[in-house]
Amino acid sequence: MANGAGRVDLDGRPIKPMTICMIGAGGFIGSHLCEKLLNETPHKVLALDVYNDKIKHLLEPDTVEWKDRIQFHRINIKHDSRLEGLVKMADLTINLAAICTPADYNTRPLDTIYSNFIDALPVVKYCSENNKRLIHFSTCEVYGKTIGSFLPKDHPLREDPSFYVLKEDVSPCIFGSIEKQRWSYACAKQLIERLVYAEGAENGLEFTIVRPFNWIGPRMDFIPGIDGPSEGVPRVLACFSNNLLRREPLKLVDGGESQRTFIYIKDAIEAVLLMIENPERANGHIFNVGNPNNEVTVRQLAEMMTEVYAKVSGEGAIESPTVDVSSKEFYGEGYDDSDKRIPDMTIINRQLGWNPKTSLWDLLESTLTYQHRTYAEAVKKATSKPVAS
């Protein structure tokens, strides 16, 4: 299949091989997207990133079947004159580069705003000036809080989907006050979306905007002290995985009451491939990519992960599997949160005929099996080292 013979788009037209400039190709999403493109399509990838650890297996000289179809360019897009040349060489640019860990939003708000808005500006500009198509990765955080969250706790309208389901073309973007620096990320992401949209309206830029709703799976983030800084705080899945691997209680911020929907990375990448290969259907659209069926509170997620990890590892759960911490203690001053994140799927269903398949239990089992295989030994070694007095 990798030679791409006989592949057609959703309208039955043959898919022409293309060159894709992928910025942030070495990250979690980028690594899965590179794998998919190399395994299942004839497209070429110009992979741009500062690190390539997560795509090393795709760059080995002995992976001959695609060695001329992926090139790694070690580039920091902040200040690299090669960027425009690489955008020009490609038919399509996909921008995945971002600081996207909530622990950074209120401790490193300047870096967060620069990385998500200022550093993305040249990418949009080069695509627009050179008539190149852009798929820009945004976030479900641009929705902020739901309308329902402002109603009294026991108000019946809180149960009405029109007060909490998030729609790309209708829902407002509602953020907290300026001193709640957690919204620095969402605000920067919203502004770059508005800029991309304006380039489309005024200068004819062909664009697609992707709003991921908690994509999870193997290679997500890092395990602190193993393949990332020991004081680092990754996102919830890797945070909980780290606790499970170390047999520590899972920390529930403010009681773990926030609700989230989780989608398996492989389902989400299917949607991205449909956007890449169906420009007529995807251009000019913003797409929610999530799984509304996989909704849980963070507390329920912790309970499920504890159960799944006990099954995967063969080790029983610890006596007190969770512990409550305040957001101030965990994230520092200025933290705030969105209450509920349920994506409306109407537009992506209509345009791309896409639906997610994997249940929460199955995706946790697959992800935690990977985490256990990859990290359990390293964590045991790290925790059994004698500490110098």
C-alpha dist (Å) from residue 242 to 26, 81, 246: 21, 38, 6
Tokens found for residue 278? 């169906």
Please say if 105 is a catalytic residue: no
Looking at residue 248, its amino acid is E
Give the tokens for residue 17: 């091989």
Could you tell me whether strands 295-297 and 259-261 are parallel, antiparallel, or unpaired per DSSP bridges? antiparallel
Quick check: 82 and 62 in contact, CB under 8 A? no
Q: Which of 105, 185, 264, 375 is catalytic?
A: 185
Phi, psi of 42 (to 5 degrees): -90, 5
- Rounded CA separation 210/168 (Å): 10
- Contact (CB, 8 A) for 83 and 126: yes
Could you tell me which residues are beta bridge partners of residue 19?
A: 44
Contacts of 205 (CB under 8 A, 6+ apart): 124, 127, 128, 134, 196, 199
CA distances from 186 to 15, 289, 365 (A): 35, 17, 30
Tell which phi-psi region holds residue 79, choosing left (phi > 0), alpha (psi between -120 and 50) or beta: beta
Whether 136 and 209 have beta carbons less than 8 Å apart is answered as: yes
Active site residues: 185
